[in-house]
Amino acid sequence: MKQIKVAIIGCGFIGNGKHLPSLVRQEGVQVVAFCDLVLEKAQTSAKQFGTADALVCTDYRDVLNRTDIDAVHVCTPNSTHAEISIAALKSGKHVMCEKPMAKTAAEAKAMLDAAREAGKLLTIGYQNRFREDSLFMKDLCDRGELGDIYFGKAFATRRRGVPTWGVFMDKEKQGGGPLIDLATHALDLTLWMMNNYEPDVVLGATFDKIAKIGSPANIMGPWDPAAYEVEDSAFGLVKFKNGATVMIESSWALNMIVSNEAMTMLCGTKAGADMFPPTGPIVRTADFQSASSLHVRVNGESAGKLYIQNYAMGAAFIGDGSRPEDFDGGFRESVAWIKALRGEAELVVKPEQAYTVTRILDAIYQSANSGQAVTVA
pLDDT at 313: 76
pLDDT digits (tens, 9 = 90+) for 153-194: 999 999 999 999 999 999 999 999 999 999 999 999 999 999
- Model pTM score: 0.93
**Looking at the predicted structure, is the pLDDT value of residue 228 above 90?**
yes
Instruction: Give just the sign of the alpha carbon dihedral 143, 136, 357, 98.
Output: negative
Instruction: State the CATH class of domain 128-327+347-375.
Output: alpha beta
The count of residues in the chain is 377
Task: Tell me the percentage of the chain whose pLDDT exceeds 90.
Answer: 87
Q: What's the CATH fold of domain 4-125?
A: Rossmann fold (3.40.50)
Which amino acid is it at 195? Answer: N
In this prediction, residues 85-92 reach a mean pLDDT of 98
Strands, E, within 71-142: which ranges?
A: 71-74, 94-98, 122-125
Report d(CA 24, CA 350) in Å as an integer: 24
**Could you state, in order of their start, the residue ranges of all structural domains in the chain?**
4-125, 128-327+347-375
Task: Tell me the percentage of the chain whose pLDDT exceeds 70.
Answer: 92
Report d(CA 204, CA 202) in Å as an integer: 7
pLDDT digits (tens, 9 = 90+) for 311-347: 987 654 433 444 444 447 899 999 999 999 999 999 9
pLDDT digits (tens, 9 = 90+) for 252-284: 999 998 888 899 999 999 999 999 765 544 444
Average model confidence (pLDDT) for the chain? 92
Give the rounded distance of the alpha carbon of 320 from its chain centre: 24
pLDDT at 278: 56
In this prediction, residues 101-119 reach a mean pLDDT of 98
Measured in Å, how far apart are the chain's first and last C-alpha atoms? 43
For the chain, the maximum distance between any two Cα atoms, rounded to a whole number of angstroms, is: 68
Strands, E, within 59-173: which ranges?
A: 71-74, 94-98, 122-125, 149-157
